[in-house]
Chains A and B, each alone.
Chain A
Amino acid sequence: MATQLEPPPESSSAPPLPAKELEFEITHTTLYRYGHPAAEAYGEARLTPPSLPAQTVVKHALMLDPETQTSQYVDHYGNVVDFFSLPYRHKKLIVRNEMIVQTRPPARPAESLELTIGEARQIFSSALTDIFDYLQPTEIVEIGSDAVQWARRFLPLKMSLAEALPRLNEAIHDSFDYKKGETDNSTTLSAIWKQRKGVCQDFAHVALSVLRTAGLPARYVCGYIETDPPAPGTKALTGAVATHAWIEVLVPGMTWVALDPTNRQWVNERYVAVSFGRDSRDATPLRGTFKGSGGQRMDVKVVMKRRAAKK
């Protein structure tokens, strides 16, 4: 369980670990089964991992069954989107996403992180037109009194980003229980604040609501996290076997830094980021709509294997 994790292995002031490259092979399969054959189905997949300083995509393939051509574009949040339409009768739809990705520990912009929250907000005020989206509440990321209180408590204006961000991350981890099945996509954020439990998606939304209240631009990240095989002596990380979610905060210099409130740590080389947005709805890996009478069932399976440790 996430709650039993050791304290974070590094603090912001510690020297960065020696660069270590990892390579992962990931297979993410989604199966939709319809009660009655669907007459028409349309979908968008945000399943193409971007190449970033901390990750290099070696290979990627998206496959649909029934076999269907997809048509790509890049959305407002920078995600590569595959659009597909199946306007004919089908009983099930399988979306298979395969990739090989190399990762390395993300470089953290130490200078920017030394700035206080007040200084950061000052710097951002001249770029509001571009970062507006990441400062606003959304239908999911509502801003309530809890978020306002937490922002005051954990993100005071005079504190440096390097100190405040992990503090908030830890506070969320310590105050919320990781519990599967207690929440779903229809659970409101205010309900999550009240019951103080949820899954990675909820942890991320809580973090976003506090950061945005404090005037710090922040976004939602959907991707994969390695848990298996656990290194000797450490516990499995929460989030495996399905997609995982965490957040990124924009710091001066227009750099995103990533934190995982579910696992109480800065994001490291065991993460592969796939899609981004203001909230889980923007970044959702697969969204679809179908015409049919029988409802649908969705099963998701993620397999993430480490290929060979590299120096």
Chain B
Amino acid sequence: MQAVTGAAVPRSKTLPAPAESWHEIYGLDGAPKPAYARLIAYLKARKPSELQALDERMEATLREMGVTFGRGDQPWICDLLPHIFEAEEWQTISKGVKQRVRAFDRFLHDVYGARRILRDGVVPIYPVLGSPHYQNALIGLPRCGDHFLHLSGTCLTRDQRGTLMVKHHYFSRASGLAYMMQNRRALARVLPELFEETAVRSFADAPLAIMESLRGAAPTKAADASVVLLSPGVESPVYSAHSFLARRMGIPLVQGGDLVVLHDCVYLKTVEGLKKVDVIYNRVLDAWLDSLVLRRDSRHGVPGLVHCLRKGTVALVNGIGSDLADDRSLLCFSSQIIRYYLNEDPILPTVSTFWLGDIDQREMVLDQPEAYCIRRIFGNDLAGSDTSDVAAVRKHASHFIAQPREQGAISARGPNMKEMVLNQDHIVYSLRSGDRFEIFPGALTRIFLQQECGASWISKDTWVLGENPEPPSRVRRLHAETHATRQVTSRVADSFYWLGRYLERASHQAYLIQVIETLETEELNSAERKLYRPMWNRLLPPLEKSAGESRRSITNRLDRYRLVLLPEPGTVASMLRRAVINAGSLQECLSPEAWATLSDLRSRFQRTRYKEKITDQECARTARRLSDTATRLIPQFFAIAANTMLADDGWRFCETGQMLERAVITANSVVSISKTFAEASEIELSAFLRLLGTRDAYRRVYQMRAEPVAVLEFLWQNAQAPRSVTRCLHRCATLLRESAAADTPGTRHSLGAIDELTSKIEQVNWAPLVAAPAAAVAAPFENANGTLISAVLNDLINATMNIHNAISDGFLSHQTSITQGVQGELAGV
């Protein structure tokens, strides 16, 4: 196969099979090649059962390491048999990759600037300026250090004759880099002996090298430049790889919503306040980076980011606009691009590539589509981009390229090396340091399980033989750094906070239903039921303001069933769903044990479908079963999490959310019965306490019947009662004081609000209020309508709800710090 030069020349589609195909592992004499000899001998000496066990351990190790790929977190598979590159061939690969990246860096610079190569007619205009990955909004922006490409991947494949060729560019995002590192870690854990026998070059210092390079890109050039990894989030099929890289580099893993633009600079929202960001290591597609000037419908970017790049206050790696270099239609012109900018012959050839935007090439390919792999011009993050839908291809022909479907070099896989591999490729990674590039001595090798285009694939560790030239000192320094910079982003804190709130809310509602089911079926006589029922219904409304009126009743079985399971806001199931959504975005922060409890809870609810037609009996059974599950598993989650989670600011916000939600529920519940408080009978008050789950605690404290003043005191002021507002608020205050953000405006603001409220609650004397006539309204609770007691209670409940605003403004949305000095109109602060 030849490198394509210029407009590709149609060539014979049926290749004669060469007499001897290149085999990666065995020579023509059938003996292993020297590079593989020791490895093969080692593996051959193992019993088949032993090899099988090793293979299974390999899979288990990768699973434990949390390596996943694709939607639904499919496990990542790495073959036991590594792929080996010999030192001499690696030299060529290394030089070839550097040459190509250098040339394309110059190319990007040129086409986003003077466009010399287009004016000189070396590359046609249309595939460049007409590419969907060329963005007019990015023309003329400064790029850090005047370079686009810093960390890149280059995908190589070997043809049947053994020639290595470039198949695809992953220049803009080094897709698969994390997998390369994880494959090595897993293999070294499972078969450490292999590495003692052979001199394999190490790339263990890659994360530190990348960190140094990223810091070098900072506009300030400061050694302590703050760096973040920007990811699309859990929706990305390679999120686990993003998470791994961020962890190894000790930098925050962020999403667009974590960043905010203020005074032409980018800031990270953390619970400790806004932190200026100097460098963004980007894993989001260019088009999605800024909804203000690029794709309007983007949810993954940061509005205003492009303007900050223009002002040079932040650096983005790789340079914004780099996606163009990965447009496969440009593969056809790689050789011209290398020659034009470097005045050198290409070291590595390119796989023949036909761009279907060209009518001649299109007709040739579509004449015999089965002879080609037809791919989209842009393939992101290792995801498949092949198609066989010829009609779709014709419609948007310029968005597709074709590469001949051919058998590649032969290799083997599987613990017994029995299975033949006919197609594989290797992604090699290059890193800029200043004007030079370094190639990590390794690759992500993908082996395709069938010969079809877009077939599924598994991976191999990739060895480069030889000694490492670098001193190993970097590795030690990395460890010191990874621990220094743990920051909890506001998004993480926010998700934790809402996880706590939703779980508490769901738990309370489930408890209420559970108690009522028990009372209905077991304990109450009909006279008592009459007294209990009004209480039930009054307790319900404040729980979820957005729920419809139809579900306001908790009196009969069908209503209770609906309150548990109806797929609408305000039901236990929907609260749990929201809790799980929040937890899902935190998965890398939650302990596996805590996550297991939540996912158990989720699946129990998911297994029960909501039915419109259902018998009364079935309603009661389902409502009871599910509310039992929720009241058992939610406290279990909190307990397990408290025992297994890192007690950092993230987790603290989950407990804060739980406590605040509980305070709000208690306060709301009291308000809901306040109109009739003075006349409430003992049975009603007792029912009230029981429905809140605090009747026994009340009795232990007061050792007397339920009376209005005592109940009020117990639920608002008692410092020990499990759900008194005062106790919940004290707990919130303690949590905030323990936080790393203790000395920030956010904390001071929130603590101030809590202290003010608790001392206000402390001063309330309930006895005269309960006895007071409706008209007597006194300071400090003026402007009340209705009874005095409801005026007092409404004032307190509003103050309790405002604690949420204080926490939200202080830690999560940063209104408190941003609005310092802003004269604008602010609501609710």
Contacts and interface: CB of A to CB of B under 8 A. Distances in A.
B119 A89 contact: no
B825 A76 contact: no
A128 interface: yes
Contacts of B828: 37, 89
Contacts of A136: 129-130
Contacts of A75: 137
Given A76-B137, A132-B129, A66 B824 contact: yes
Interface string A85-118: 1111111000000000000000000000000000
Contacts of B293: 44
A289 interface: yes
A34 B418 CA distance: 66
A42 to B, nearest CB: 4
A88 B815 CA distance: 6
B119 A129 contact: yes
Given A90-B825, A289-B303, A76 B136 contact: yes
A42 B822 CA distance: 16
A288 interface: yes
B480 interface: no
A133 interface: yes
Interface in A253-287: 278, 282, 287
Interface string A61-73: 0000011110101
B291 interface: yes
A75 B119 CA distance: 22
A289 B292 CA distance: 6
A129 B115 contact: yes
Contact of A71 (B130, B137, B307, B829): B307
Nearest to B124: A128
A288 B291 CA distance: 9
A124 B813 CA distance: 53
B586 to A, nearest CB: 21
Contact of B304 (A66, A83, A132, A282): A83
A156 interface: no
B707 interface: no
A129 B123 CA distance: 11
Given A76-B136, A85-B261, A88-B819, A66 B825 contact: yes
Contacts of A128: 125
B263 A69 contact: yes
27 contacts: A37-B828, A39-B813, A42-B261, A71-B311, A73-B307, A76-B137, A76-B140, A83-B292, A83-B304, A85-B261, A86-B824, A87-B260, A88-B815, A88-B824, A89-B827, A89-B829, A90-B824, A90-B825, A90-B827, A132-B125, A132-B129, A133-B129, A136-B130, A282-B136, A289-B291, A289-B292, A289-B296
A71 to B, nearest CB: 5
B703 interface: no
A213 to B, nearest CB: 16
Interface string B814-827: 11001100111111
B547 to A, nearest CB: 17
B823 A67 contact: yes
Interface in B800-815: 813-815
A285 to B, nearest CB: 14
Interface string A201-236: 000000000000000000000000000000000000
Nearest to A281: B296
Interface of B: 115, 118-119, 125, 129-130, 136-137, 139-140, 260-264, 291-293, 296, 303-304, 307, 310-311, 813-815, 818-819, 822-829
B823 A66 contact: yes
Contacts of A66: 822-825
A279 to B, nearest CB: 12
Nearest to B817: A88
Interface of A: 37, 39-40, 42-44, 66-69, 71, 73, 75-76, 83, 85-91, 128-129, 132-133, 136, 278, 282, 287-289
Given A87-B261, A89-B829, A287-B292, A42 B304 contact: yes
Interface centre among A66, A129, A136, A289 (most CB of B within 10 A): A129
Given A76-B140, A136-B129, 13 more contacts: A39-B813, A42-B304, A71-B264, A71-B311, A73-B310, A89-B828, A90-B824, A90-B825, A91-B827, A129-B119, A132-B130, A278-B136, A289-B296
- Which 7 A-B pairs rank lowest in CB-CB distance, beginning with the nearest? A66-B824, A42-B303, A83-B307, A129-B118, A37-B827, A132-B129, A76-B139
Nearest to B119: A129
Looking at A37, A44, A75, A83, the one whose CB has the most chain B CB atoms below 10 A away is A83
Contacts of B813: 39
A89 B304 contact: no
Contacts of A90: 824-827
A88 B136 CA distance: 30
A75 B828 CA distance: 38
Contacts of B137: 75-76
Contacts of A288: 292
B311 A43 contact: no
Contacts of B824: 66-68, 86, 88, 90
Contacts of B262: 85, 87
A87 B818 contact: yes
Contacts of B826: 88-90
Nearest to B114: A129
A43 B292 contact: yes
A121 B339 CA distance: 32
B397 to A, nearest CB: 15
Contacts of B292: 42-44, 83, 287-289
Nearest to B819: A88
Contacts of B291: 289
A43 B292 CA distance: 7
Contacts of A44: 292-293
A282 B137 CA distance: 9
B307 A89 contact: no
A129 B122 CA distance: 12
A129 B260 CA distance: 36
Nearest to A128: B125
Nearest to B120: A129
A40 B129 contact: no
Contacts of B825: 66, 90-91
A177 B40 CA distance: 80
B54 to A, nearest CB: 51
A161 B580 CA distance: 65
Contacts of B264: 71, 83
Q: Name the residue in A44, A67, A68 with the highest tally of chain B Cβ atoms < 10 Å from its Cβ.
A: A44
Contacts of A42: 261, 292, 303-304
A304 B823 CA distance: 31
Nearest to B816: A88
Contacts of B130: 132, 136
Contacts of A39: 813
A167 to B, nearest CB: 30
B136 A85 contact: no
**Residue among A43, A73, A87, A282 with the most chain B CB within 10 A?**
A87
Nearest to B136: A76
Contacts of A67: 823-824
Nearest to A73: B310
Contacts of B304: 42, 83, 85
Contacts of B296: 289
Contact of B818 (A37, A43, A88): A88
A232 to B, nearest CB: 45
B33 to A, nearest CB: 50
A225 to B, nearest CB: 27
A187 to B, nearest CB: 16
Nearest to B265: A85
Nearest to A43: B292
A44 B306 CA distance: 12
A293 B447 CA distance: 47
Contacts of A86: 824
Contacts of A40: 260, 303
Nearest to A64: B824
